[in-house]
A and B are shown apart, each in its own frame.
Chain A
Amino acid sequence: MSDMLRQVEPVIPALRRYARALVRNRAAADDLVQDCLERAVSNWGQRRDGDPRPWLFTILHNLAVNQFRHTASRGKHIAIEDANEDDFGQDAVQEQKLMYQDVLEKLARLPEDQRAVLLLVAVEDLSYADAAKVLDIPLGTVMSRLSRARERLQQEIEGTADGAPKKVVQLRSMK
């Protein structure tokens, strides 16, 4: 039990971050993480030895996808959380916060499968192979989704997403 505590507890902040970035709602994200932790505790014996992070992210990701599936079928829209309104008066800080808010809103416009790859790899530092395990897809698909996610996010950032596709230098065709 103490072994579980020692290995799982340090991962909880990252699990929260991933869940929040996926569902964009604090309460819903924390509910998912709680569900994930309860499953991890009851199925601790079933994990493979080694780094528990991919295993935990797998449980969390599957729960999140399931929720997407159900909310999508109900057509429910999860509200985007308001930015915290503290720290007023500091222009630089405020400007930075707006920039962060802005990139998260752009991230939210990516298809869910691209967003998941980008978050796991670029934010949560999972290896490409571990991301493939979490998402249960081949490594090549991780790479092509990562590539598409970055292109798409860049188009959003540069404001070219809705117009004609920007000409990009491409070294290989995208799957």
Chain B
Amino acid sequence: MSNRPITEDDLHAHVDGVLEPERQVEVGGYLEGHPDVARRVAAFSDQRDLLRKALAPIADEPLPPQLNLSRIIEKRQRRPSPVWWAVAAVLMLSIGGIGGWVTRGSLQTPSGGLAALAQEAAYSYHVYAPDRVRPVEMRASDSAQLVQWVSNRLKQPVKLPDLTGAGYRLMGGRLIATSHGPAAMFMYDDDRGDRLVVLTRPMASEQSAPMAPHSGGDVSGFAWADDGMGYSLVGQAAAESLKPIANEVRRQARTI
């Protein structure tokens, strides 16, 4: 018999049946001498038993088709790489050429430059990222059509960033209305369900601008412009963890 005092943790381990046999004996002896504690422990055991019985039928239900794992695996294997689709879309759309988008301008502040783009991206994040039902209009499985659609509307070849290297999976995207014309929004999420938004549109002013951080409320991000296209990446993660992702988006966009 050890002289270690019985702890609250021992009592719970006793209820859950995970004590070492020797300790089990010691706890058993303690409970015999302390009927009030024993009653409480017995109540916890009853509780545990009741919960298990009450919830057991759920695990016995036949699995619905949506939870058929073979089908989920098959679906993922059939999905073509987004990069390949982006290449195909660029080939199809390169005929559209650069330019052609004339901004209507806006009297509202901030200007048509990076600040406005960053603001639009933050608005889009706030509106669409919390949406559990339809955060994107076209899902990742239709990424080819998505790229084609937004490239047509932006009159620019748009490249879909692939962020799997950073742990973010494409959810899909949609077209966003801004006071500077249409913008393409792509949404990503990681294993924790944290979401990121990448917004891109042609730039009337600041056609090339270095990457700059921006933040507001509970979101932060980075915005930049290259060759007439502006980009902003927004998320709830810390700015330092978003920076490498923004760099990756920029790197991929430059390889068009």
Residues of A at the B interface (CB closer than 8 Å) are: 1, 4-5, 8-9, 12-14, 16-17, 20-21, 30-31, 33-34, 37-39, 41-43, 59, 62-63, 65-67, 70-71, 73-74, 99-101, 103-104, 107, 118-119, 121-123, 127-128, 143, 146-147, 150, 153-154, 157, 168-172
Are the CB atoms of B55 and A21 closer together than 8 Å? yes
Q: Does B102 belong to the interface (CB within 8 Å)? A: no
Number of B residues, CB within 8 Å of A: 46
Query: A-facing mask of B4-40, CB < 8 A → 1, else 0?
Result: 0011110111011010000000000000001011001
Are the CB atoms of A100 and B50 closer together than 8 Å? yes
Q: Does B63 belong to the interface (CB within 8 Å)? A: yes
Are the CB atoms of B11 and A171 closer together than 8 Å? yes
Q: Please give, as numbers and ranges, the residues of chain B lying within 8 Å of A71 by CB-CB distance.
A: 132
Are the CB atoms of B12 and A147 closer together than 8 Å? yes
Q: Please give, as numbers and ranges, the residues of chain B lying within 8 Å of A99 by CB-CB distance.
A: 50, 54
Knowing that A34-B67, A73-B130 are A-B contacts, what are 6 other residue pairs whose CB atoms are under 8 Å apart, sorted by A's residue number?
A: A17-B56, A30-B64, A30-B67, A38-B72, A42-B169, A67-B132
Distance in Å from the Cβ of A61 to the closest Cβ of chain B? Answer: 10
Q: Does B48 belong to the interface (CB within 8 Å)? A: yes
Are the CB atoms of B193 and A62 closer together than 8 Å? yes
Q: Does B78 belong to the interface (CB within 8 Å)? A: no
Q: Please give, as numbers and ranges, the residues of chain A lying within 8 Å of B63 by CB-CB distance.
A: 12-13, 16
Of all chain A residues, the one with the shortest Cβ separation from B164 is A42
Q: Tell me what chain B mostly uses at the interface: helix, strand, loop, or mixed.
A: helix
Selected from B12, B56, B59, the residue in CB contact (under 8 A) with A150 is B12
Residues of B at the A interface (CB closer than 8 Å) are: 6-9, 11-13, 15-16, 18, 34, 36-37, 40, 43-44, 47-48, 50-56, 58-61, 63-64, 66-67, 69-70, 72-73, 76-77, 130, 132, 169, 191-194
Are the CB atoms of A20 and B58 closer together than 8 Å? yes
Are the CB atoms of B67 and A37 closer together than 8 Å? yes
Are the CB atoms of A41 and B6 closer together than 8 Å? no
Are the CB atoms of B52 and A122 closer together than 8 Å? yes
Q: Please give, as numbers and ranges, the residues of chain B lying within 8 Å of A107 by CB-CB distance.
A: 51
Are the CB atoms of A39 and B191 closer together than 8 Å? yes
Are the CB atoms of B69 and A8 closer together than 8 Å? yes
Closest 5 A/B residue pairs (Cβ): A100-B54, A66-B193, A13-B59, A17-B58, A62-B192
Selected from B12, B37, B52, B130, the residue in CB contact (under 8 A) with A70 is B130
Are the CB atoms of B60 and A9 closer together than 8 Å? no
A-B pairs with beta carbons under 8 A, tally:
127
Are the CB atoms of B12 and A100 closer together than 8 Å? no
Q: Tell me what chain A mostly uses at the interface: helix, strand, loop, or mixed.
A: helix
Distance in Å from the Cβ of B50 to the closest Cβ of chain A? Answer: 5
Selected from A16, A42, A121, the residue in CB contact (under 8 A) with B16 is A121
Q: Please give, as numbers and ranges, the residues of chain A lying within 8 Å of B69 by CB-CB distance.
A: 4-5, 8-9, 12, 37, 41
Distance in Å from the Cβ of B158 to the closest Cβ of chain A? Answer: 24
Distance in Å from the Cβ of A44 to the closest Cβ of chain B? Answer: 9
Q: Please give, as numbers and ranges, the residues of chain A lying within 8 Å of B61 by CB-CB distance.
A: 13, 16
Distance in Å from the Cβ of A21 to the closest Cβ of chain B? Answer: 6
Q: What CA separation (Å) do A147 and B44 show in the bound complex?
A: 10
Are the CB atoms of B8 and A172 closer together than 8 Å? yes
Distance in Å from the Cβ of A139 to the closest Cβ of chain B? Answer: 9
Q: What CA separation (Å) do A34 and B76 show in the bound complex?
A: 13
Q: Please give, as numbers and ranges, the residues of chain B lying within 8 Å of A8 by CB-CB distance.
A: 69
Distance in Å from the Cβ of B43 to the closest Cβ of chain A? Answer: 5
Q: Please give, as numbers and ranges, the residues of chain A lying within 8 Å of B11 by CB-CB distance.
A: 171
28 inter-chain pairs at a CB distance below 8 angstroms, sorted by A residue, are A1-B73, A1-B77, A4-B69, A8-B69, A16-B67, A17-B56, A17-B59, A39-B169, A39-B191, A43-B191, A59-B191, A62-B192, A66-B192, A67-B193, A70-B130, A71-B132, A73-B130, A99-B50, A103-B50, A104-B54, A104-B55, A107-B51, A122-B47, A122-B52, A150-B15, A150-B47, A169-B37, A171-B7
